[in-house]
Structure 1
Amino acid sequence: MPWLVSSQLDCVSSSPSQRECERTAFSFYCAVREQLPAWLLEDMRGMEVFCWEDGRPRAFLPSEALLYALVHNHQDYARYLLDRYSLAVLKAPRCSFCCCRGSGAPHLKMAVRYDRVAVLAMMLAAVKDGDPHGEYLDDGGGCAHVADAGKTAVQLAVELSRPDCLLLLLAHGAAPDGLDAALQRLASCEASERRQAQRCLDALLLFLPGTTPPSSPLPRRLLDEPPRWRRLLGDEVFRWLCGLAPPPLLLQALRCLARAGPDRISSLPAFLRPHGWH
């Protein structure tokens, strides 16, 4: 059938079993989208839903179900999966494009991309005791063809201006990477996006080390355009990031609150919050 495009040829040439797997997976996707009860979704996943892999059907994994729950913000189902399977549900599924073993932290990145703050908080609570060295939180792996490959969840949160997700990740021990990207985004974003970009920068500043590393190119970049960066950052923060002064006292006090819980800063009076929280 030369008039069919390649994707249609693939569909036509697939076996009845493969087409049945695709049908059950799509039905499950729709059921999660419709926010059906968690127990019913688990019954479907355990008995009716299959994927096609290596030429044969296989059961739909809990980690794949969690990705569906993230996309559709099905918080009850996400909670059920995390309570029942704990860290096992955060294991990266095998890639369906190149058939390599899953790697990285796709669930964290998916939560950031879709701004699923509540589900991200559930996942980070599950990770807290099982990832003492932050290896999962700071994992930037993933297949090369995936859009977020090579980025950590923190870097993605900065890139997409997801301040609530970013603060959650940092408060749970993720490395405060992406300061340069946060500065550039603040300087170049539209006025309508500036508040979110400012909040991301403020969150990173709360978790940075006390001094800027001497090898960092950041001070030189800031000193190339002092008026611009003083206007965006304020004089105290500008001098600190350039290595000319210690961190502002208010910032040091806010750090203690931020580490105690990401919701503490929002409960402060407006004049005590960082600029982006106003």
Structure 2
Amino acid sequence: MPWLLSSQLDYVSSSPSERQCERTAFSFYCSVRERLPVWLLEDMRCMEVFCWDDGHPRAFLPSEALLYALIHDHQDYAQYLLNRYSVSALRAPRCSYCCCHGSGAPHLSIAVRYDRLVILRMMMAALKNCGEQTKRQDYLDSCGGCSHVADAGKTAVQLAVELSHADCLLLLLVEGARPDGLDAALQRLVSCDVSKRHHAKRCLDYLLLFLPKPPLLQRLEDEPQRWQSLLGNKVFSWLQGVAPPPLLLQALHSLVQFGADRISMLPNFLQLHSW
């Protein structure tokens, strides 16, 4: 599967039944990739056997089907699964390689890695409807599960910063995800290609919007002139703890609470780069 490390793909099935499951699983994967109609995909998922689990065949779970929908941006299928199965479609599937029970938030990681903003919004809506704030917060801030998964140990916010997927990052932060990763965002800003610097700067700006207070960062102490030039006097002074946050930052923080789209609707002179 695409979200597993390449070293895990060397696994070879032994039994004819297991090999048959793998063939039908690949057929289902291709059907989602081709974005076949939702009713047909659900018929395939419910009426055919695709997975081999603990020595027995079983049908694909809604959460496993949602991973395929995310990878191939099949928005209609993702919407159906989330409407029909709600947050149960967001449960981490059991790992077939190390046999551990599903953990973490693989759907969030996949949505961020593939920059599936539309489906990510659907997922956030499903989480809101679940009505359990504590579980919702735990899900938003959870890290990847098993060590052999490509994004293990990273929250969705950290992954969005690493990939400079600013729109996904803003949506996660608006929904209440913890704004960690400021140091990584600063490192990304100076290490990425010039062509990607705009997106890296947006990620940094969005993190600044949601920081309750600036953390002490050694890199700012080590190279003050460099960072003052990159960040501007007001932001740099705030991060150093010697000045209050810029007025525009405070105003935008209040505005963005009403929705992630509010920032993009502002005129250019009120955009984040203006402070």
Q: Into which bin does the TM-score normalised by the smaller protein fall?
A: over 0.9
Q: Say whether the 8 Å CA contact 2:256–2:263 is kept in structure 1.
A: yes
Q: Following TM superposition, by how much is the alpha carbon of 1:125 offset from its aligned partner in structure 2, in angstroms?
A: 1.0
Runs of 4+ in 1 over 4 A off after TM superposition: none
With normalisation by structure 1, the TM-score equals 0.91
Gaps of 5+ in 1: 1-6
RMSD, matched Cα: 1.5
Structure with larger Rg: 1
| 2:252 equivalent in structure 1 | 254
Q: Say whether the 8 Å CA contact 1:28–1:49 is kept in structure 2.
A: no
How far does the alpha carbon of each residue in 1:114-159 deviate from its partner, in whole angstroms, 9 at most, with x for none?
0000000100111124341311000114011212111110011001
Q: Say yes or no: does 1:242 pair with 2:240.
A: yes
Q: Say yes or no: does 1:180 pair with 2:183.
A: yes
Q: Following TM superposition, by how much is the alpha carbon of 1:259 offset from its aligned partner in structure 2, in angstroms?
A: 1.4
Cα distance between partner residues in 2 of 1:86 and 1:8? 34
Corresponding residue SS for 2:26? helix
Corresponding residue SS for 2:138? coil
| 1:56 equivalent in structure 2 | 56
Cα distance between partner residues in 2 of 1:240 and 1:187? 20
| 2:6 equivalent in structure 1 | none
Query: What is the aligned length?
Result: 263
Cα distance between partner residues in 1 of 2:11 and 2:148? 23
Corresponding residue SS for 1:94? coil
Q: Following TM superposition, by how much is the alpha carbon of 1:9 offset from its aligned partner in structure 2, in angstroms?
A: 9.0
User: Which residue identity does 2:106 align to in structure 1?
Assistant: P
Cα distance between partner residues in 1 of 2:257 and 2:250? 11
With normalisation by structure 2, the TM-score equals 0.92
Q: How does 1:138-177 map to 2 (within 5 A)?
A: 138-177=141-180
Gaps of 5+ in 2: 1-8
Q: How does 1:203-242 map to 2 (within 5 A)?
A: 203-209=206-212, 211-212=213-214, 216-218=215-217, 220-242=218-240
Distance 1:189 1:175, change over 3 A: same
| 2:138 equivalent in structure 1 | 135
| 2:123 equivalent in structure 1 | 123
Q: Following TM superposition, by how much is the alpha carbon of 1:187 offset from its aligned partner in structure 2, in angstroms?
A: 1.5
Q: Say whether the 8 Å CA contact 2:216–2:240 is kept in structure 1.
A: no
Q: Say whether the 8 Å CA contact 1:63–1:93 is kept in structure 2.
A: yes
| 1:35 equivalent in structure 2 | 35
Identity of aligned residues (%): 70
